[in-house]
A = this chain, B = another copy of it.
Amino acid sequence: MTTLSPTPRSTLTRKKDRAATDRERLYEVLDDGLICHLGLVLNGSPVVLPTGYGRDGDTLYFHGSTGAGNLRAAATGIDVCVTVTLLDGLVYARSLNNHSMNYRSAVVHGSARLVTGEEKMHGLHVVTEHLTPGSWDHARAVNAKELASVSVLALDLAEASVKIRAGEPIDEPEDMDSHEIWAGVVPVQTTFGEPIPAAYMPAGAPIPPHVRARG
């Protein structure tokens, strides 16, 4: 488990000489993930919603309809928490208590800001290219009316933590000879299937390289 930022909301266990490595790991988790979970406080209660996002350097962008209450609330500058989790494996140990998961997760705390103008279009670009690389140059551009219907928020990667569990189960000494109990890992992967054209695509239309590369 590694941590990036020594604030009260982040864990404080990291060694300073690992900071650079940790930031690379943060980038890896954020770049490998597909969706994030955005948490904020609405009327005193926590709300956690799945959201698309993208990263450019040390900025995370996410977007949504201007009509979405959670986005409107986040845009006012209240604290948010954005979490990206990659489940890498199910860990079977000899004892139930040592069963675990292999995973990588990034947790980012901060106050998001509503972006406008050039940065708003840039944010949409980043979010689009994260989920559907190549679409920005292939599909019809956003027009003024569509742009107005979307909010784009930016969150600095200033206060973030990364947790990683990888590798074998860890069993108790008392269980090491219990070879009748299976111990190991079942890997978990996210995979993309064969692209399915929309019914309104002409029959036999080729699947473009950027879609083929994703699928």
Chain A residues within CB distance 8 Å of chain B: 8-9, 34-35, 37-50, 52, 79-83, 85, 87, 90, 92-97, 99, 101, 103, 105, 107, 109, 124, 128, 131-132, 135-136, 138-143, 146, 149-150, 168-169, 171, 175-176, 178-179, 181-202, 205, 207-208, 211, 214-215
Contact = CB atoms under 8 A, between A and B. Distances in A.
Given A37-B85, A46-B46, A96-B136, A194 B184 contact: no
A185 B198 CA distance: 7
3 tightest CB-CB pairs across the interface, nearest first? Answer: A187-B193, A39-B48, A39-B46
Nearest to A93: B139
B184 A192 contact: no
Contact of A201 (B35, B97, B184): B184
A200 B200 CA distance: 55
Contacts of A181: 138-140
A211 B185 CA distance: 9
A184 B138 CA distance: 13
Given A9-B47, A49-B83, A201 B188 contact: no
Contacts of A208: 182
A34 B47 CA distance: 20
A191 B73 CA distance: 36
A188 to B, nearest CB: 6
A193 B109 CA distance: 33
A189 to B, nearest CB: 5
A29 B95 CA distance: 29
Contact of A200 (B97, B176, B190): B176
